[in-house]
Each structure stands twice: as C-alpha cells, then as structure tokens.
Structure 1
Amino acid sequence: MKLGQCIKAGALGLSLFCLSQANAQVFENERFKFGIKGGYSLSSIAPTSKKNVWNDGQDHRNGFYAGVVAEYSLTREKGASIQLEVLYSQQGVKYKEDVPFIGQASYTLEYDYITVPVLAKIYVIDRVALYGGPTIAFNVNDKSVLKIDHVESSFNNDINKVDVLATAGVEVTIFDGIYVEGRYNHGLKSVFKDAGNNFNNSNIQVGVGFKF
C-alpha cells in the first residue's frame, strides 16, 4: 500500500474512532438528567395502635415539599433508572382532645425534614414511570403548639432526629422535561423517642418538576 493510501486509511480510521467516542459520550451524557421539583404535601402522624387519643379529632398538616433530583438511566432506551433526590419536606399533624375540667385542647405538631429518597424507577411506557425505595429523613425543625381556649403555648417533644420511610409513586411526563408526580411516604420508625406506641410519619405528595 502506498504511503498516501496509508495516510488516508489512517485518517478514516481515526475519524471513525473519534465519531464513535463522541456518540458514546453523548449517550453517556444523556444518561444523566438533573432537575427541580416541588408541590403539595398532606401529612399526618399515624399511631400503630388505634387505641389512642390521637385518633380522636386527628387532622392533617397541609404543607409543601421542594428540592433537586438526579436520574441515571441504566439502559439505552427508557427502561430502568436510579433516581436520587434531596428535598425539604413539611410534615406533622393536628389533633384535638377533651381535657377534664379544662375543655378542648388542640395540638399542632410541625416537623420539617430534609429527605433523601433513593428510588428505583421502571418506565412501564415511554412517558409513565413507577418508582419506589427508601427515604432517609433528617429533622431540621420541630415545633409543637398547644392551644386551650385561645391561649397558645409551645412545648418540646422528644423526637427522633432521623427517620426512615418507604416511598412509592408514579411519574408522568407531560412535555419534554416537564412532569407531574404523586407519591406516598410511610415512616418505618417512631417519630417520638420512648413512646409507648409507635407514631409513624405518613404523607401524600403531589407535585410538578422539570428535568434537563
């Protein structure tokens, strides 16, 4: 083979190699998606035992959640992926009980967490995914208020600063990068230390997000 032909063949081979590497890099970059999300959170603290005053007049806390998300695809086509999130989540409960000789007392427990869900996600069809996995929650605010006859006072509950929850939900892409989601989180640890019964965090979250 002449020198010119060798140079041309080498240049062609180098070009094909560079093109394949570029395509591989593009694919690898497309595997990662980052984004933001936020929405409405309806929370409660559910006792394990139903024989408890917390079930009388129990209500939910209305709040929000918001944060960042990163998703890594395990397959070339949309099939399976791992999703990691860091969220600020408002949780808690409101409930009432009758106190003898005093009247009705209302309690408002506002517990806010930084949560870190680690989720396995399966795309059942192109734009619809089911996911589930554990969530680690770190308490960053615990505010408890007792109200009797329009008189309010704050008090402290001895709560666990770290919680573990089971998370399951669905995500639906409505436009490129824009999606809506709904999920349920259920605590696997008691919210309170040394509680006679376990009181578990429980919340439903509905929100919207964007990935790029």
Structure 2
Amino acid sequence: MKHIALLLAGCALSATALAQTNGPSGTPSSADYGTGTTDSRNNGFGIKGGFTASNFRGDDKKNYGNEAIYNTFHAGVYAQFGFNDKFSLQPEVLYSRQGFKASNPANTSQTGTYTTRLDYVQVPVLLVYNFLDNVSLHVGPQVSLLTKVKEGSKERKIADENNTYGYSYSSLDYGLAAGVEARVGPARVGGRYTAGFADIIKDPANTAAQSIDNIKNGMFQVYIGLGIAN
C-alpha cells in the first residue's frame, strides 16, 4: 500500500504540473460553458488505455508464497456528462487484464509459482470533481464481469462443475475506484487505484482450497486518453 500511495502522489504532482503548463492556443477548460448551454469540456467521449499493476489482498493472502505484481494492461472507452464547471459523471467500459503471481500451498491442485490471469470487462461509473481548471479527482463504484481465467499456461473454466480444482472463480466483481487526472488539449493522463470487494475464488470444496479463497482484486492503473468529442 505504501508503493500505491507513492504512485498516486506522483501522479497527482505530475497532473498538477501538466495542467499548469500552457496548452495550445485556445484550448478550452473545464469551466468553458456557453451562456445558457451545457457546452463544456466536461461533456464528450473518447478512448483510453495504459499500464496495470495488479495483485491481490485479503485474509488468505498470507497462505500464498512468492507473491509478486502482475504487470499487464487495460483499454477501453469513456463518456463524460457535465453537471456544471466542477462536477461531471464519467462512465467507462474497459477490457482489463489483471490477476497475480504467487504459489499456492503444496496440498492444492496447483503447485509452484505461476501467474493467475483474470480477464474482466469493467464498468466504472465515476464522479469527477475539477479541483483545478484541468485537473480532476475521480471516485466511484465499479462492476466487473470475468470472461477468462488462465492459471500458468493452462486456460480453465470459471466454474469448476466437476470439482477438478476444488474451487471456482467468481464471475462478478464489484469495488471502488479512485484517482486523479490531468488534461492538456484533447489528451488526458491519469492514475487510479481500484479495490475489489468480492472474493476472487468461491465454492472451495476441500480444506486446501478453503485456505486460499479469501482473496480480492487490487490494482493500480496509469493511463492516457484521447477525447474525440471534447
């Protein structure tokens, strides 16, 4: 968590520095509303993507060995709907590859250190607050649908109907996302941390599986975006 806090602080400082530099001549700001209209840079849509540092957390994290960050990526689209010059709502649809690196206890079906890859379709809905002209805080809930699981080099089904592994994966995750973003011209750059609240693993069928099922997603994202209509 200390590393995450430092990364968020670095993104905030970078965002502030970017926003305070002079952009292209005539670059609109978040406060540019026409009289009697909602025409502002707080409205529009665009594309985004970037780097993800993914891991896991929870009471059973201590039962895994050789834990490490899984470095991967995410990409998708966003829309933004402005309420006024300070507040807006930003829903997104993202493809997010995440997961973790670790080794399970020796008495489970998977042994040794390997990467658990989890592919999600994420839908965050974020409240955006412009605390500076072109720098904003983002916070809001997120719902994610699990579409694919790979343990090491082997792809496996999300549900374990035949009790092959002794556990299944939760197809739905939900959580909270928070971060900071800066905008220069049509471009954006930002950082975000997302904490999942649902257990990644469910339906443990034996004692070994029960020792590793209380874990949840956690990830830090750094991204760039390009506004198409704002």
Q: Report the TM range for the smaller structure's normalisation.
A: 0.7 to 0.9
Deviations 1:51-77 (A, max 9, x none): 41x1x21012111010000011111x2
Relative to 1, partners in 2 of residues 1:194 and 1:99: Cα closer, same or farther, differing over 3 Å? closer
Aligned-residue offset at 1:98: 7.4
Relative to 1, partners in 2 of residues 1:73 and 1:189: Cα closer, same or farther, differing over 3 Å? same
Query: 162, 167, 174: which one pairs with 2:172?
Result: 162
1:17-166, aligned counterparts within 5 Å?
24=36, 27-30=37-40, 32-52=43-63, 54=64, 56-75=65-84, 77=85, 79-96=86-103, 99=106, 105-145=112-152, 158-166=168-176
Q: Distance between the aligned counterparts of 2:62 and 2:35, measured in 1? A: 62
Q: Distance between the aligned counterparts of 1:130 and 1:74, measured in 2? A: 15
Residue ranges of structure 1 left out of the alignment (5+ in a row): 1-21, 146-151
The answer for the alignment partner of 1:12 in structure 2 is none
Q: Percent identity among equivalent residues?
A: 33
The answer for the alignment partner of 1:210 in structure 2 is 226
Residue ranges of structure 2 left out of the alignment (5+ in a row): 1-33, 158-166, 205-209
Q: Distance between the aligned counterparts of 2:60 and 2:143, measured in 1? A: 24
The answer for the alignment partner of 2:203 in structure 1 is 194
| Greater fraction strand | 1
Relative to 1, partners in 2 of residues 1:51 and 1:59: Cα closer, same or farther, differing over 3 Å? closer
**Residues 40 and 64, structure 1, Cα contact 8 Å, conserved in 2:** yes
TM-score by length of structure 1 reads 0.75
Q: Distance between the aligned counterparts of 1:67 and 1:153, measured in 2? A: 26
Higher relative contact order (CA 8 A, sep 6+): 2
Letter in 1 for 2:215: F
**Residues 43 and 81, structure 2, Cα contact 8 Å, conserved in 1:** yes
**Residues 48 and 200, structure 1, Cα contact 8 Å, conserved in 2:** no
The answer for the alignment partner of 1:17 in structure 2 is none
Aligned-residue offset at 1:168: 0.4
Relative to 1, partners in 2 of residues 1:99 and 1:66: Cα closer, same or farther, differing over 3 Å? same
Relative to 1, partners in 2 of residues 1:168 and 1:153: Cα closer, same or farther, differing over 3 Å? closer
TM-score by length of structure 2 reads 0.69
**Residues 149 and 156, structure 2, Cα contact 8 Å, conserved in 1:** no
Q: Distance between the aligned counterparts of 2:60 and 2:174, measured in 1? A: 19
The answer for the alignment partner of 2:17 in structure 1 is none
Q: Distance between the aligned counterparts of 2:155 and 2:121, measured in 1? A: 23
Structure with bigger gyration radius? 1
Letter in 2 for 1:69: Y
Letter in 1 for 2:118: Y
